[in-house]
A and B are shown apart, each in its own frame.
Chain A
């Protein structure tokens, strides 16, 4: 019943590796996010403490979560890209 991907792509030798590091990075980000939510719930007044340049913890942590997301994403992409290249080289050498 035409149940194939819209664009065909070959088997991915790096799939398991990418899933593994993806799960670990997800867990890392989830912990940092959970700590943010926990501070809000358990110690909400901490959020108004000034951390640097007159910015409070709420702003620093909030912006930090957004910046951390991008940094983690770029690291993830770099690691995936390296492994994909290695896998391709290994296949080419066979």
Chain B
């Protein structure tokens, strides 16, 4: 059923593209849908464009593993729309034509601005494209049973077809359909979660028996661990950053247990684990890894307001009651943490239970160390700043202001977007927490939490949600490729290089650019397999906020802004943001280096790169006043 619904959806999308292709003859039609999209349609298309894999898959997954901290992304992403509405929407519409470079350059006609802004558009779009393509592969892999690379190629081919046939018009309607369906069916899943209620032994409505993880007691004498039950033989132990793990042989099977010491008592809890052997073989929970033998889905409530067992089950709950129960200190939530270590020649990954009280789960702190060192706090502040300022500087969002007929329509469509996106972000809280308490979080990757939650309610909902998740990728990637295509064909080839294209040639150049960018996106999607989706999106936000926003703001509000000031600011923001990230602890860790040796102890660059970009714009503008005409 999942495959049928998926194929019907893809057929619908392609049919729509071919229908609009016949009507797209001009550059205005290709890059800006002729500027004739209704504001309400454009508003939902905004939502479809903006709610990418990072929002639907990434945020829900992060809430399912880190609780409220994942919701901070929802808050930051939505807050960014206030900058777009109050400061950017109408002026951008009045100044621009097809791309945000047009708006920046409207008063200057500067080759420097055209080049810098076009490169910035390409860089931000490509950074944003990578996680979408990686997400596409992750999604299609289990849905259609095809390898990751094949999934990425398939998504790339469909998107290139959508964009290269009819450009912004078909992209708009794909995003409109996807945005609407995403909000409606996410609401359906949330209602189903509340109707099912909470239990300490979630069995997915009777579909999957709850796996009760064993707990055994042990004692220690002369440094040796002793277990009364002789079926367990102690074979060794490991301590990783304060967490203790014990290797036990059970009926000849090697197993790993998490050790907890409290008041002189020792408790061992069953874990899940995978072991990569030196000979290349891999074991999962003691048995050879196969398609069927994978780590079990996890996450559940250990206690509900202090109660356990059948009497703890709540039956259906209201939306506020659901959050209230999960915020209670006496509610214990079993999140799972991943710990990696070496055991001789074996590389061991343990997925261990990690019981968290509700009051800690439902406030910031599990992922972002708001109670940590000053540098950790600064990193959190930097992230929230980039999320707030990044939205209004994303090129694929800004170009949607050119698809409506007037500035008032740009404003109204932004308000529709805020309503749809805000409502969806409220739902992410229920989707993420719903996945956590219903034991559907994949220990290997949290990105599939929302679709797996839908699967716990039956195949139909899973099929619909998977098709929507796929559409989520299609919608966002289409928008990004249109933005990148406009940067190459319109900003660089036509306006910077002044090749003197007529309308037909512009459209052809746009289609060729879309094809090339699509191929690059496919290659990067395959290359970056396994890279964290949310991390890369955060990077795109930071680069956009640093490179683009200072120019947009200053050109609107500071009369002494000059063309050289804008070009310098874009380059400074882009280079400093990317530079800080490349030397950050997260990148060091991803490339196998010790994160403690990273020269810059920040993962989020916004706190430095955004003010620096503003500063450079002001200084260069002041230094170039005599040579250039003021902005207004």
Contacts and interface: CB of A to CB of B under 8 A. Distances in A.
Interface of A: 1-7, 9, 12, 15, 18-19, 22-23, 25-26, 29-30, 33, 36-37, 40-41, 44-45, 47-48, 50, 53-59, 62-63, 65-67, 69-70, 72-74, 76-77, 80-81, 84
Contacts of B556: 19
B78 interface: yes
Given A7-B404, A26-B83, A80-B408, A41 B380 contact: yes
A71 to B, nearest CB: 10
B75 A36 contact: yes
Interface stretch (B89-97, B231-239, B248-256, B276-284): B89-97
A48 B362 contact: yes
Contacts of B405: 7, 9
B380 A53 contact: no
Contact of B411 (A9, A23, A69, A80): A80
B422 A59 contact: no
B327 A26 contact: no
A62 B327 contact: no
B370 interface: yes
Interface string B107-122: 0010000000000000
A1 B106 CA distance: 12
B94 A59 contact: no
A19 B91 contact: yes
6 contacts: A12-B94, A19-B90, A40-B370, A54-B321, A54-B323, A70-B415
B270 interface: no
Interface string B47-89: 0000000000000000000001001101100110111011100
Nearest to B357: A48
A5 B90 CA distance: 12
Contact of B86 (A26, A70, A74): A26
A6 B34 contact: yes
A13 to B, nearest CB: 12
B324 A54 contact: yes
Contacts of B377: 41
Contacts of B320: 53-55
B465 interface: no
Contact of A54 (B82, B327, B407, B418): B327
Interface of B: 27-28, 31-32, 34-36, 68, 71-72, 74-75, 78-79, 81-83, 85-87, 90-91, 93-94, 96-98, 102, 106, 109, 320-321, 323-325, 327-328, 359-360, 362-365, 370-371, 377, 380-381, 384, 388, 402-408, 411-412, 414-415, 418-419, 422, 425-426, 429, 494-495, 498, 556-557
Contacts of B323: 54-55, 59
B399 to A, nearest CB: 10
B363 A23 contact: no
A7 B364 contact: no
Contact of B359 (A56, A72, A76): A56
Nearest to B403: A6
A58 B363 contact: yes
Contacts of A74: 415
Contacts of B87: 22-23, 26
Contacts of B408: 80-81, 84
Given A7-B28, A9-B405, A12-B90, 13 more contacts: A2-B97, A3-B495, A15-B94, A23-B557, A30-B82, A54-B323, A57-B363, A62-B71, A66-B425, A69-B78, A73-B414, A76-B411, A77-B412
Give the 4 A-B CB pairs with smallest separation, nearest first.
Answer: A7-B35, A54-B324, A6-B35, A6-B32
B35 A48 contact: no
A87 to B, nearest CB: 11
Given A62-B75, A70-B418, A55 B411 contact: no
B425 A6 contact: no
A41 B373 CA distance: 11
A29 B82 CA distance: 8
B108 to A, nearest CB: 11
Contacts of A57: 363
A25 B411 CA distance: 14
Contacts of B406: 7, 9
B426 A63 contact: yes
B198 to A, nearest CB: 13
A45 B465 CA distance: 36
Contacts of A40: 364, 370, 380
A37 B90 contact: no
A34 to B, nearest CB: 9
A33 B79 contact: yes
Contacts of A41: 370, 377, 380-381
Contact of B85 (A3, A19, A33, A76): A76
Given A56-B327, A69-B82, A2 B411 contact: no
Nearest to B506: A2
A92 to B, nearest CB: 17
A69 B418 contact: yes
A13 B571 CA distance: 35
Contacts of A72: 82
Contacts of B109: 3
